Amino acid sequence: MNLPADLKYTKEHEWIKLEGNIATIGVTEFAQSELGDIAWLEMPTVGDETRIGETFGTIEAVKTVEDLYAPLSGKISEINPGLLDSPEFVNDDPYGKGWIVKIEFSDETEIAKLLSADDYAGLIE
């Protein structure tokens, strides 16, 4: 299972890439394989506030539906426009073209709550 070491993870099977005060969020390889083919995503709007642990969107897969949980508090600074027409990017390239949103986070202390690749690997074994 591909788990890039430079990313952070959550137990809700999301990955987080930290750059300055911006966190790019997606779902893990494991999550996309469990979800199966994704039909579409319900996305927040740029500017929406996020609170750690609260839902900010939904992934509708053919067979199931899962909420997306904000890994950090802040506000949505960007959504991936490519997913509107091509939700399959999440299946095909979960750490690349399948990124979902960017959050401008407001509380750096929350970063300590995120998991390392090793911690996350232990969860999905």
Interface residue list for another protein (CB under 8 A): 33, 36-37, 39-40, 42, 58, 60-63, 65, 88, 91
Where does residue 109 rank: exposed (0-12), middle (13-18), buried (19+ CB within 10 A)? exposed
Q: How far is the CB of 79 from another protein (least distance, A)?
A: 15
Q: How far is the CB of 92 from another protein (least distance, A)?
A: 10
Nearer Cβ to another protein (11/40)? 40
Rounded distance between C-alpha atoms, residue 115 and residue 80, angstroms = 23
Rounded distance between C-alpha atoms, residue 97 and residue 80, angstroms = 8
Nearer Cβ to another protein (38/101)? 38
* Torsion from C-alpha of 50, 54, 58, 61, nearest 10 degrees: 140
Q: How far is the CB of 64 from another protein (least distance, A)?
A: 8
